[in-house]
Structures are given as structure tokens and as C-alpha cells.
Amino acid sequence: MMKHPPMEHAASAIDFEHPPADPMTAFRRWFDAAHEATTLPNPNAMSIATVDPDGRPSVRVVLCRGIDDRGLVFYTNRQSRKGEALRAHPRACANFHWDPLDRQVRIEGSVTHATEAESDAYWESRPRENRVNACASQQSRPVATRAALEEAVREFEARFEGKPIPRPPHWGGFRIALERIEFWQGHRHRLHDRMAYLRTGDGTWTCTRLSP
């Protein structure tokens, strides 16, 4: 059975006939509603699609850790598969799927590194265990056994016992620019609402309603 936004989130609804001029107004309204929804354990989760150096597409779920007019930010090991993909093809598509609200937002754009200061600040905000594990894990690389991975963690724990854990130079943020933003609101019998915003060269937005 098709789900529909709960009545308590009616205030976050978008008027698709008269959409706001700035898509981020609508996005923040939906993003706030997703955080207020008790049935959504992780509203920051978003799927990130990239293209590998050999041209093969790949997608995974990451956590959005920053949103402003410059774009969406997530943090990762830049030597991971997605990091290598973004080095070769610095473009990505992010998709938020808030299933209990029957809503999706898709954001596409070019990708750049977050600043060193942003990456440092987020690194320091993480639990110490997370920082140790990020140092120990050679993300996306083969590992022989779980025991080998845990041994690497113990080695890093011993190395930094009683000391600050510096951010590895290959670990940091990526920012997806806001170039295309699409909103999808589910309705019965697949007669959904969709609209897409495209950013023009002068920084303004054009909005087009799309068939579902």
C-alpha cells in the first residue's frame, strides 16, 4: 500500500503548482520534517552514485554532514573506491529517500574537497574509537580476516594511547555542488509529483514540473 506523509508534516508540503524560487527553501523544509519524523532513524542517510575510473557506476549510502548554498558535504577515506571514482570523474548524484514520508530528493553536481579546516573540525568531533578505526582501515582494500582488521585497530590504539589522533591526509570531506535538484512526492496509483530545478550560469534557478 502506498504511504503518505503524516498529517503532522502537512506544513512541510511543497506546492508543486507554485514552487519556491529557491529550491533550498523546499529542501530545508523537507529535511527538517525528516528529522522530526520519529519513524526515520537516520534522515541524514543518502545514496551517492559515482562513476569508477573504468566507467562503471557505483552507489553506496553515506551520511550528509553539512548542507549550505555551496552544496552537500560527506566525509570518507579519499583512497576508498568512491574517492578514486571522484578523483577520476569529479561529479556525483546524491539521493535522499525518506520512505515514511514518501519523499525523495535527488541532487546532482560537480564534486570538490571540503576545506582542510572543515575536515579537521569534523574529524575532531568524531568519537575516539571512530578515529582509531578510520586510521586502521584501508577502506575498500582487501583484508585477509576480521582478526587481521581488529589487530590493526589494536596497533593504532597502542600507537596513540594518551595522545591526540591526527587526521590522516587521505581522510576528509567531499562537497557536491547544487547544480540540479529534483523533488519527488509520492501519491496513490503512481500519479506522483515531481519537479526539477536547474542552476543557470548566473546562479539563479529554473524550475520544471516533470511527469511521474
CATH for 204: 2.30.110.10
In a domain, 147, yes or no: no
**Residue 138 belongs to some domain of the structure:** no
Q: Which three cell numbers stand for residue 48?
A: 551517492
Q: Does residue 29 fall inside a structural domain?
A: yes
The answer to whether position 85 is within a domain reads: yes
Grid coordinates 552514485 are at which residue? 49
Nearest to 94 by CA among 66, 130, 121: 66
pLDDT at 9: 56
The whole-number pLDDT of residue 61 equals 97
What CA–CA distance (Å, rounded) separates 43 from 160? Answer: 33
Region at 203 (left for phi over 0; alpha for psi -120 to 50; beta for the rest): left
For residue 40, being part of any structural domain is answered with: yes
Give the active site residues. 190
How many separate domains does the chain show?
1
Domain membership of residue 103 (yes or no) is: yes
For 33-82, the pLDDT digits (tens) are 999 998 888 999 999 999 999 999 999 999 999 999 999 999 999 999 99
Q: pLDDT at position 192, please? A: 95
Q: Is residue 143 domain-resident?
A: no
Domain that holds residue 188: 18-122+169-210
Predicted confidence (pLDDT) per residue in 113-154, tens digit:
999 999 999 999 999 999 999 999 888 888 889 999 999 999
In a domain, residue 152? The reply is no
The x, y and z cell numbers of residue 8, run together, are 503532522
Q: Give residue-wise pLDDT tens across range 155-204.
A: 989 999 999 999 999 999 999 999 999 999 999 888 899 999 999 988 89
